């Protein structure tokens, strides 16, 4: 890992070790890394210390605060291990460079990796110091976004997102109009559907589906659950995306035409998803390997995918090979910073989400079957690949769920697409980020390892 670090980044890890020894601790954690990043790197800082200082974090205040909040240990001169959370922060720094095509890892990437955890001693220490962690995270994103990216790092909304939003009509006042708008948006922005050797409609577990495959031989199946607030969307709304994913991943993609609300309220959609995956496990589709089934969905579909993964675990059935959650709905509280900042003028609005929740109408909005972020025990769930958009009201709850999964020991890859808005995944004909996300998910599926059967 450290061979991909600059000298200053490696020096930061060494400084973290020194801070741990100085405080008499028997581990190196995210709090120690934060102290290391608050050093000015002997004049060779890449802006990290300045960003932290501008946010109100100083070494003189942070060090005694860490000494008060962290348990001590034997200290000593022997080997001091890295905590699992710090290892995840370092892995997050590597992902930050990979996502942006930057190499090697610098101090600024270490800061992003630390902040992306959304929890732990380092983040808690910043909060105790009165730092606005959300604003600091955005400043860190801007710090790393520049040299290898074709657009200015602080430009905010991508021009494609800005143009898309400017062209959108006022939201329809009725359900039929909303569904028609979803269909029209797909036709206008999704792009031209590619040809595949196999595209056919089928019924699996009594649920209408569409099977996409780049061949006719058996292959793993990615069960796709469309977004649309449990209210809109169908087999056609995400057809272009499903075709691209099947072509690039080598997996069969099985799109689920679940029963939508308000005609069929909770738990009808969830029951349909579980019925389809159970049918695939029972070898109901001759082009699918019944031992390799993953589940993925965008927005409300991501919610259903996450809940289905947990329900299968609780039932003791064979786990899904992977869960891919694309800007998922994970919490009905709607009270995150990203909701407060982006739920008015960035496409998806708080008013729309309130309508979707009322149409879905579960009896308890904070039940884990509805708000998976409220799940008390996330251990043993399948590996997760979580995608979020920078200017999406759902961003924070998606990233919080990724962090909660990681905290429970679930292998997690989390990616935030800068400049992007909610809905970019299903419109690859317009959004570069949509095409990139499809490619990223396809790569994750290609490299996935079969789990227990």
pLDDT in tens, 195-249: 999 999 999 999 999 999 999 999 999 999 999 999 999 999 999 999 999 999 9
Query: How far is 340 from 328, CA to CA, in rounded Å?
Result: 17
According to the model, what pLDDT value does residue 152 have? 34
Distances (CA, A) of 340 to 177, 344, 368: 27, 8, 23
Torsion of CA 347, 329, 365, 323, to 10 degrees: 160
According to the model, what pLDDT value does residue 95 have? 80
Torsion of CA 94, 96, 99, 103, to 10 degrees: -60
Query: How far is 388 from 415, CA to CA, in rounded Å?
Result: 6
Of 49 and 131, the one with more pLDDT:
131
End-to-end CA distance of the chain: 32
Mapped onto helix, strand or coil, the DSSP state of residue 324 is: strand
Average pLDDT over residues 368-387: 96
Q: What long-range pairs does 242-245 form, CB within 8 A, spacing at least 24?
A: 242/210, 242/212, 243/193, 243/194, 243/196, 243/199, 243/212, 244/194, 244/428, 244/435, 244/438, 244/442, 245/212, 245/438, 245/441, 245/442, 245/445
* Catalytic residue (choose from 109, 158, 226, 422): 422
* Catalytic residue (choose from 392, 396, 440, 448): 392
Domain with CATH 1.10.1780.10 in the chain: 2-144
CATH dotted code for 161-446? 3.40.50.1820
Task: Specify the DSSP element, H or E, that contains 151.
Answer: none
According to the model, what pLDDT value does residue 77 have? 45
Q: Give me the chain's average pLDDT, please.
A: 90
299 is catalytic: yes
Torsion of CA 186, 190, 196, 202, to 10 degrees: -20
261 is catalytic: no
* Catalytic residue (choose from 20, 213, 261, 299): 299
Which candidate, 110, 137, 129, places its Cα nearest to that of 6? 110
Q: Is residue 407 predicted with pLDDT exceeding 90?
A: no
List CB contacts of 394: < 8 A, sequence separation 6 or more: 299, 327, 328, 329, 330, 338, 348, 388, 422
Write out the CATH class of domain 2-144. mainly alpha
Q: What is the largest CA-CA distance in the chain?
A: 70
Domain with CATH 3.40.50.1820 in the chain: 161-446
The whole model's pTM is what?
0.69
Of 45 and 129, the one with more pLDDT:
129
392 is catalytic: yes
Distances (CA, A) of 274 to 48, 207, 279, 305, 445: 46, 10, 9, 9, 20
According to the model, what pLDDT value does residue 343 have? 93
Q: Give 97's pLDDT tier (boundaries 50, 70, 90).
A: confident
* Count of beta carbons in the 10 Å neighbourhood of residue 183: 14
Query: How far is 404 from 250, CA to CA, in rounded Å?
Result: 30
Q: Is residue 57 predicted with pLDDT exceeding 80?
A: yes
Instruction: State both tokens at 285.
Output: 């589709």
Query: How far is 210 from 231, CA to CA, in rounded Å?
Result: 19
Which candidate, 121, 134, 136, 124, places its Cα nearest to that of 49? 136
Q: Is residue 146 predicted with pLDDT exceeding 50?
A: yes
Q: Give 449's pLDDT tier (boundaries 50, 70, 90).
A: confident
């Amino acid at each position: 890992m450290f061979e991909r670090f600059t000298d200053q980044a490696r020096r930061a890890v060494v400084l973290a070790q020194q801070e741990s020894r100085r405080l008499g601790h028997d581990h190196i954690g995210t709090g120690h890394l934060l102290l290391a990043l608050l050093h000015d790197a002997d004049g060779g800082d890449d802006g990290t210390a300045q960003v932290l200082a501008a946010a109100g974090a100083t070494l003189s205040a942070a060090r005694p605060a860490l000494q008060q909040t962290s348990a001590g240990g034997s200290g000593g001169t022997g080997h001091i291990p890295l905590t699992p959370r710090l290892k995840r922060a370092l892995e997050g720094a590597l992902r930050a460079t990979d996502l942006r095509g930057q190499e090697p890892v610098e101090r600024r990437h270490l800061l992003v990796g630390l902040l992306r955890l959304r929890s732990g001693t380092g983040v808690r220490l910043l909060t105790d110091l009165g730092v606005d962690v959300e604003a600091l995270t955005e400043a860190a994103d801007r710090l790393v976004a520049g040299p290898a990216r074709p657009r200015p790092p602080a430009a905010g909304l991508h021009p494609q997102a800005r143009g898309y939003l400017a062209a959108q009509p006022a939201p329809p006042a009725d359900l039929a109009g909303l569904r028609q708008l979803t269909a029209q948006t797909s036709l206008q922005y999704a792009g031209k559907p590619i040809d595949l050797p196999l595209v056919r409609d089928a019924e699996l577990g009594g649920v209408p589906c569409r099977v996409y495959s780049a061949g006719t031989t058996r292959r793993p199946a990615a069960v796709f659950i469309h977004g649309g607030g449990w209210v809109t969307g169908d087999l056609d709304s995400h057809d272009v995306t499903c075709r691209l994913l099947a072509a690039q991943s080598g997996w069969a993609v099985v799109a689920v035409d679940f029963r939508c609300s308000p005609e069929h309220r909770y738990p009808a959609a969830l029951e349909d998803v579980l019925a389809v995956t159970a049918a695939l496990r029972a070898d109901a589709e001759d082009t699918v390997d019944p031992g390799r089934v993953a589940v993925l969905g965008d927005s409300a579909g991501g919610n259903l995918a996450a809940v289905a993964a947990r329900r299968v675990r609780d039932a003791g059935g064979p786990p899904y090979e992977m869960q891919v959650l694309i800007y998922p709905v994970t919490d009905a509280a709607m009270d995150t910073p990203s909701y407060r900042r982006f739920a008015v003028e960035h496409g998806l609005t708080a008013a729309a989400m309130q309508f979707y929740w009322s149409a879905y109408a579960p009896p308890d909005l904070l039940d884990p079957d509805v708000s998976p972020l409220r799940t008390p025990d996330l251990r043993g769930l399948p590996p997760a690949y979580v995608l979020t958009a920078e200017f999406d009201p759902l961003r924070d709850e998606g990233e919080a769920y990724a962090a909660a999964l990681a905290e429970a020991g679930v292998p997690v890859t989390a990616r935030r697409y800068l400049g992007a808005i909610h809905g970019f995944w299903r419109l690859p004909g317009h959004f570069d980020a949509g095409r990139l996300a499809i490619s990223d998910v396809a790569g994750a599926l290609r490299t996935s390892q079969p789990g227990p059967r």
